[in-house]
Amino acid sequence: MKAPNSETAQRQYRQRFGSGAAYRNRVWRILCNDYFSRIIPPDARILDLGAGWGEFINNIPAAQKFAMDFNPDGRDKLSSDVRFLQQDCSQPWDALADGALDVIFSSNFIEHLPDKVSIESTVAEAHRCLRNGGLFICMGPNIRYVHGAYWDFWDHHIPISDGSCCELLLLAGFSIERRIPRFLPYTMSQQMHVPALFVKAYLRMPFIWKLLGKQFLIIGRK
């Protein structure tokens, strides 16, 4: 299956997220400050894989930041301390040496890759570029709970569950450090924007995740 070109990726992202960009950034600032910064040390060398407009990488404290995406808009959306790598992630990551990273983060991305071969190649490169003990943090819609709504996005290609994501990482040589089948609600592109205070409260009440969460969070360690 042929992957979309950079112009297609650019148009899809603008159409889907353009009107809610400021809100998404506010939510990701809360997610980074209240949750992910507790997992990711501030001296980490980190790559945001499938970074989009940099909502995560712009807000997470880190010593060295990279963002990889096929969408050229990333170049103008990223903070000045983020190095942008515009490329097909299933191809070799020539800009990054073996063991160059402490953390790789990916949110709502791998299901957009065109086939399982592309996903496997991407995860293999992630494993190569992480140091021993490094973390691969992967978040995405859980087909187990999203069901048919998964296909409401034209560029969703591969249905993934928390179980299949764990198996993928294990086959690539990772151990599973954390597995949360239900983490965040499904999407910020087609729903009412809830107040930021609700997002902060939601993160503090994991029992609610089991009711509202439709995205998995998997953390693998090399």
**Residue indicated by tokens 């187990």:** 144
Residue 164 CA to residue 75 CA, distance in Å, equals 32
Claim: this prediction has a pTM higher than 0.85: yes
CATH of domain 6-221: 3.40.50.150
What phi and psi, each to the nearest 5 degrees, are found at residue 112? -90, -10
Q: How many CB atoms lie within 10 A of CB 209?
A: 19
Q: Each residue of 154-211: pLDDT tens digit?
A: 888 999 999 999 999 999 999 999 999 999 998 655 556 778 789 999 999 999 999 9
Kind plus residue range of the DSSP H or E element containing 128: helix 116-129
Confidence class of residue 18 from pLDDT cuts 50, 70 and 90? very low
Q: Each residue of 64-106: pLDDT tens digit?
A: 999 999 888 778 889 999 999 999 999 999 999 999 999 999 9
Closest CA to 2 of 117, 162, 121, 165: 117
Whether the pLDDT of residue 131 is over 50: the answer is yes
The dihedral region occupied by 84, where left means phi > 0, alpha psi between -120 and 50, and beta the remainder, is beta
9 Cα distance to chain centroid: 16
Give the pLDDT of residue 192.
Answer: 60
Give residues with Cβ within 8 angstroms of 171, minimum separation 6.
none
